[in-house]
Amino acid sequence: MTVSDIIEKLQLKVIGGEEGLQNEVKGGYTSDLLSDVMGNVDEGQVWITLQTHRNVMAVASLKEVAAVIIVKDLEADENTISQSNDEGLPLLSSSMEAFELSGELYKLLNQ
Amino acid sequence: MEFNYEVEGGNFTKAGNAASSVKKVLKQLNVDPKIIKRIVVALYEGEVNVVAHAYKGNVLVDIDTNRIYIKIEDEGPGIPDIDLAMQVGYSTASAMVREMGFGAGMGLPNMKRNADTIDITSKVGEGTIVELTTRLTS
């Protein structure tokens, strides 16, 4: 499944990093603690978070996640969006809460 | 090969620049991606520690064929009790830093887990030196 597929199935909005929409999604990780993500997220996973600042993209890029999804329609900072575009790493948003979105993504990936 | 990076205390927008640059170099050198990942995690956490706690710092990276040596040196408050600082969950980070999702007390433990050796020396009121060494061949 690609990032594009999950955007369509979970009705996500693309905020930045369109270049990476064909990234393969291998799983997901939900956390708002950056060190926790740094220590535990795996390459190719989708990272679900409520954090909106630029360091999210720094962590996402270093760990080579497939995409970042910001929950609850929270607005990403301007420099978060520009870094997502620079790196071609998709930054997405959802109106769902982290619990709900994680559940939906889990179902989708384990069909 | 030697590289130097400056780290500004309080400037979170630049946190991760050294890690990102070192990652590119190690990729070009065809280092095992698993080893690169560990080094990048450890260095990123080190940068964040300087940004979150110190006034300014410097990262020295020395790469040879067998190992990478990273020295993160800062001018800052220092660490009074290093054993305590190494404990998962212990943190002295400010409320602002915690709100950003840092300061969960995982930085130094993450660094220890992701380096072959870690040495920390610190003087209260002066600063801290963290030295990380990791073998590049598995």
Q: How many CB pairs under 8 A join A and B?
A: 61
pLDDT of residue A111: 87
Residue to test with chain A: of B25, B27, B48, most A Cβ within 10 A:
B48
Are B110 and B42 in contact, with CB atoms under 8 Å apart?
yes
pLDDT of residue B138: 72
CB contact under 8 A, A39 and B106: yes
- Is residue A17 within a helix (H) or strand (E), and if so which, with residue range? none
**Each residue's pLDDT tens digit, B88-105:** 999 999 999 999 999 999
Which of B16, B104, B114 minimises the CB distance to A55?
Answer: B16
Residue indicated by tokens 């969006």: A81
Question: How does strand A45-49 pair with strand A67-70?
Answer: parallel
When pLDDT is averaged across residues A99-103 and rounded to a whole number, the result is 98
Extract the tokens encoding B6. 């400056």
pLDDT more than 90, % of chain B: 98
Question: Does any CB of chain A come closer than 8 Å to the CB of residue B104?
Answer: yes
**Each residue's pLDDT tens digit, B5-29:** 999 999 999 999 999 999 999 999 9
- Domain segments of chain A as ranges: 3-109
Chain A residues whose beta carbon lies within 8 Å of the beta carbon of residue B102: 33-35, 55
Residue to test with chain B: of A30, A32, A35, most B Cβ within 10 A:
A35
Fold observed for domain A3-109: 3.40.1390
ipTM score here?
0.88
Name all domains of chain B by residue range, CATH numbers in brackets.
2-135 (3.30.565.10)
**Each residue's pLDDT tens digit, B22-55:** 999 999 999 999 999 999 999 999 999 999 999 9
Extract the tokens encoding B130. 């963290």
What amino acid occupies position A103?
G
When pLDDT is averaged across residues A12-19 and rounded to a whole number, the result is 98
Rounded Cα distance between B135 and A92, Å, is 37
Number of other residues whose CB lies within 10 A of the CB of residue A8: 10
| Helix extents (H) in B1-138 | 17-28, 33-53, 82-85, 95-99, 107-113
Nearest-CA residue of chain A relative to B100? A51
User: Which neighbouring-strand residues pair with B130?
Assistant: B72, B120
What amino acid occupies position B117?
T
**Each residue's pLDDT tens digit, A16-62:** 999 999 999 999 999 999 999 999 999 999 999 999 999 999 999 99
pLDDT more than 90, % of chain A: 99
Number of other residues whose CB lies within 10 A of the CB of residue B136: 18
Rounded Cα distance between B65 and B137, Å, is 8
Return the exposure string of A35-55: e unless at least 16 CB atoms fall within 10 Å of the residue's CB, then b: bebbbebeeebbbbbebbbbb
| Residue A10 confidence (pLDDT) above 80 | yes
What's chain B's average pLDDT?
Answer: 96
pLDDT of residue A32: 97
Question: Does any CB of chain A come closer than 8 Å to the CB of residue B48?
Answer: yes
